[in-house]
Amino acid sequence: MGIIKVNNIRLYAYHGCMAEEAIVGSDYRVDICVHANLDKASVSDNLDDTIDYVRLREIVEEQMNIRAKLLEVVARRVIDLYFAEFQEISYASVCIAKINPPIQGDVESVSVTYEKSRS
């Protein structure tokens, strides 16, 4: 078993419940973590035997480009695609943070973390 993390994926996207968020957009940071059996890759040294973290990042970017009101929706879409595309994944978590959210007060970020285990 092993863990693959891709941290601090920085993106600009247009999520949020307020109409102006669909126009102005915001900066986001995404952190992902997947658990999978990495035994074969640890011996073969072959990319085909592991979870390609480039593809993990691409899925995040693709889903962040599809507008949603709630970050929960985006996080779930990301994880659902991870489980559909990579049968080796047994657990995944996605944390999406909106940087400088348009809420009252001095707030650096708000974030949503969604986790799922393969049943």
Question: Which CATH code of 3.30.1130.10, 3.40.50.300, 3.40.1480.10, 3.40.50.11740 fits the domain covering 2-117?
Answer: 3.30.1130.10
d(CA 21, CA 14): 6
Q: Is 116 a catalytic residue?
A: no
| Residue extents of the structural domains in the chain | 2-117
71 membership: H or E segment, kind and range: helix 71-85
d(CA 100, CA 41): 40
Q: Point out the catalytic residue in the list 5, 40, 69, 98.
A: 98
d(CA 30, CA 99): 11
Residues 8, 29: contact at Cβ < 8 Å? Answer: yes
User: pLDDT tens for residues 33-87?
Assistant: 999 999 999 999 999 999 999 999 999 999 999 999 999 999 999 999 999 999 9
Q: What is the pLDDT of residue 101?
A: 86
Whether the full predicted model's pTM is greater than 0.85, yes or no, is yes
Q: What integer is the mean pLDDT of 105-113?
A: 93
d(CA 90, CA 7): 19
Q: What is the pLDDT of residue 104?
A: 83
